[in-house]
Amino acid sequence: MDREKALQIVEKFKKELPVVGAAIIPNNLPTFERYIKSLVEEGYLLEKFVDEAKSKPHLIILIKDFEKPNEIKKKTAEVLYEVAKERPPFWVLPLLVKENFFNLLSRTGFLEIMPYIDVLFDEIYLQAAKFGGLYLYALARRLGDGLVAFVLAGSAARGEYKENSDIDFFVIYDDTIIHKPVRHELLLLVEPFRITAGIERRVNIQVYSLSSFWDSLRQTNPVIITFLRDGVPLYDRREFTIWKTLLKEGHIVPTKEAAEQQLVLAKAKLEEMKKKMVDFVIEDSFWASIAAAQSLLLAIGVITVTPKETIGELRKLGYNELADIIEQIYNRRKEIEHSDQEVKIDGKEIEEKYLLAKKVVENAEKEMPKLEIVGMKREVEALKTEIEALLIEIEKTVPKLFNELIEKGHISKEQLELLKKPLPNSLSELEKIKNSLWDLYRKLSVIREIRDTQYLFHGILVRYKGKEYILLKADKYYLYDSNEDKVYVVTDEGLKEGNRDELDEKLEEITEERVPIPIEDLIKIKQILGDVEILISTPY
C-alpha cells in the first residue's frame, strides 16, 4: 500500500478541513465484506459502486463537525470531488465524526474491522474505535445476552477533548441475567486491550448494573444524564437508545425531590470537606459547588450535564458571582488534574476553597424558594396549555355535553377562569391552582372519551379478525374501532367504511335507554362476516 500517496490525499483535506484522523483499511481482511455491507446498509456506499469499492484499499478520513456542520459537509464534498478526479489508488471515504463516524460505530461490520486498520494519524477517535472493537468482543464473550450497552462517553463524545484527555466508556450489564459481580473482572481487561490496540491515551471504563443505572436515571442523576445525552453507543441492546430518545423528547424530567436531593448532596459534601485530606480539598469544593448550582437549576427544570453548561446556565439566571466562583474552582481542579508535577495546596488555599464552596451552597439554599416558584409557574403554564388544547377538542366533539356539565356545576366556572388569571408569586397559592387545574384536566380527559363511552352504552364488545370493535344498532348495524377511530357499516356484502358523524346523529335519534340486539341479527352478522366473537355485553 502506498502510504505516501495516502498521506498526500489526507493533506489535501487538511488544508481545507479540520481533519482529526486518517487510516488505511486493507481490502484483503477477512471482515472486509461485512465492513462493505455496513457501508451499504447505512447509505455511505451505493450498490452500483460496491465492486469498485471492494477492489481497492479504503482510506478513511475523519473530519470534526461539532461546529458549523453544514459548512463542513459542503466543503468535504468539494474536496472529495477534486481528489476523485485524480483517480487515487484508494477508495477515499471522508467521514464527519458526529454525523457519520459515530453512526457507523454501532454497526458490527464497521467496528469489528477497526482493530486492524493502519492508522496514518489520529487525535482520539481511531484509538477509541480500535480499543472499542477489541473490548466489545471481550464483553460479548463474557456477558452474552446480559450486555445492555457499551458506550463512548466523555470529552471525545462531545468533541471537547484535549491533548491529555482520557478516552471514556461505560458498560451497562443486565443484573437479572448476570448475577455475579463483574465490575472488577471487566476493569482488569482494560489495560491489556489498551496495549494490544496500541493506544497511548488512558482508557477509563465505568461499569453499571441495569438496576443501578435505571435508579440513577429515575433520580435524574446529572452524571448519568451526561452519559445518556452525550454517549455514542458502540453496542446497544435497545434500552440505551430508548432512554436517549426519552431524554431528547423531554420525558425524563427533574423533580422537586431531585432538586432537594442535590442540595442535600451539596451540604453533605461541604461537611465532608472539613474531614478530608488536603489532596481532596479541590475535588470536594468543586463537587459541592456544582451540586449546589445544579440544585438551583433542577428547581426550574433545567438539566445541565457539564460544568461549563452549569456555569453558563447560572449566568443566564443572573448568578454571575456564583458562576465566577465555580469557574475558579473548576479551572484550579483542571490545572491540578493535568499537571505533570506534584501540586501542593497550603492551608490558606484550603480555607479559601472551603469558604468559596460554602458561599455557593449557602446562596443556593437562600435562592431555592425563589426558583421553586419559577419552576412551579412553568409547570402550571404547561398544564394550562394542555387544558386549552383539550378544550378546543371538546368544543368540537361534544359541546352540548360540555355546556350541560358546566351548567350543572360538575365543571366549575372558577376552574375555567384560572386559565385566564395571572399566576401569583406564592408557592402555596401556586400549589392550590395546580391541584385545581389537575382536577379540571382529569374531568376534561373523561369528557374527551365520552363518545366512546356512549358507544359502549348502546352496543356490545366483539372481536373480529383479531381486533376488538363495538357493535352498535341504529338504522343499521355498525362496527366501531376505537383504536383507529373508524366506523364501518355491516352490509350483506360485508363491511363498508362509514361516517362517524352520521353514526352520532343516528344514535341521538334513539329514544330508548338501550337498543337490544336480537340473537337472530347476531347470527346473521356472524354469517356475513364469519369470524365474529361476542366478548361482553355492556352492563348499562
Which strands, in side-by-side order, build the sheet including 147-153? 203-209, 167-173, 147-153, 232-236
Q: Decide: residue 176, CB within 10 A, 0-12 exposed, 13-18 middle, 19+ buried.
A: exposed
Burial 276-285 (b: 16+ CB within 10 A, else e): eeeeebbbbb
Tell me the per-residue pLDDT of 48-82, one tens digit each, with 9 for 90 and over: 999 999 999 999 999 999 999 999 999 999 999 99
* Mean pLDDT of the region 324-351: 77
Query: 539 pLDDT band (50/70/90 cuts)?
Result: very low
Least confident of 256-270, 419-433, 446-460: 446-460
Residue 277 pLDDT exceeds 60:
no
- Provide the grid cell at 63: 473530519
CA distances from 504 to 334, 469, 501, 514 (A): 69, 16, 5, 15
Beta bridge partners of 152: 169, 232
Assigned CATH class of 143-253: alpha beta
Q: Rounded to an integer, what distance in angstroms lies between the CA atom of residue 26 and that of residue 35?
A: 11
* pLDDT score recorded for residue 540: 36
Could you give the count of Cα atoms lying within 13 Å of 112 in the half-sphere of its Cβ? 16
309-318's contacts with Cβ under 8 Å and 24+ in sequence apart are: 317/371
pLDDT tens sequence across 475-516:
888 888 877 778 898 888 888 998 877 877 777 776 565 667
pLDDT of the residue at 52: 93
Q: What is the mean pLDDT of the chain?
A: 84
Nearest to 375 by CA among 303, 286, 457: 303
pLDDT over 60 (residue 276): no
**Are 105 and 99 in contact, with CB atoms under 8 Å apart?**
no
Q: What angle do CA 520, 522, 524 make, to 5 degrees?
A: 70
Q: Is 40 exposed, middle or buried (0-12, 13-18, 19+ CB in 10 A)?
A: middle
Q: Is 253 helix (H, G, I), strand (E, B) or coil?
A: coil
Q: How far apart are CA 483 and CA 470, in angstroms?
A: 11
- Does residue 455 surpass a pLDDT of 70? no
Q: With beta carbons less than 8 A apart as the criterion, state whether 234 and 150 touch.
A: yes
Q: How far apart are CA 517 and CA 477, in angstroms?
A: 10
Q: Which residues of 97-122 are buried (b: 16+ CB within 10 A; e: fewer)?
A: bbebbbbbbbbbbbbbbbbbbeebeb
DSSP at 478: E
Give the residue among 518, 486, 520 at the shortest CA–CA distance from 503. 486
- Indicate the pTM of the whole model: 0.53
- Residue 201 Rama label (left phi>0; alpha psi -120 to 50; beta): beta
In whole angstroms, give the CA distance from residue 113 to residue 33. 10
**Residue 512 DSSP one-character state:** S
Cα 398 to Cα 131, 364, 386, 452, 469: the distances in Å are 62, 49, 18, 11, 22
Please write the tens of the pLDDT for every residue from 201-220.
Answer: 999 999 999 999 988 888 77
**Do residues 118 and 7 make contact, with C-beta atoms less than 8 angstroms apart?**
no
The pLDDT tens digits for 126-178 are 999 999 999 999 999 999 999 999 999 999 999 999 988 999 999 999 999 99
DSSP collapsed to 3 states, 3-34: HHHHHHHHHHHHHHCCEEEEEEECCCCCCHHH
Domain boundaries, the chain: 1-122, 143-253, 259-366, 382-454, 465-536
Q: What is the pLDDT of residues 350-403, one digit of tens each?
A: 778 778 888 888 887 887 777 778 778 888 888 888 888 888 877 766 676 677
pLDDT band per the 50, 70, 90 thresholds, residue 275 = very low
What are 103's three cell numbers?
Answer: 453512526
Quote the pLDDT of residue 231.
93
Average pLDDT rounded to a whole number, residues 316-321 = 85
Give CA–CA dist 342/344, Å, rounded.
7
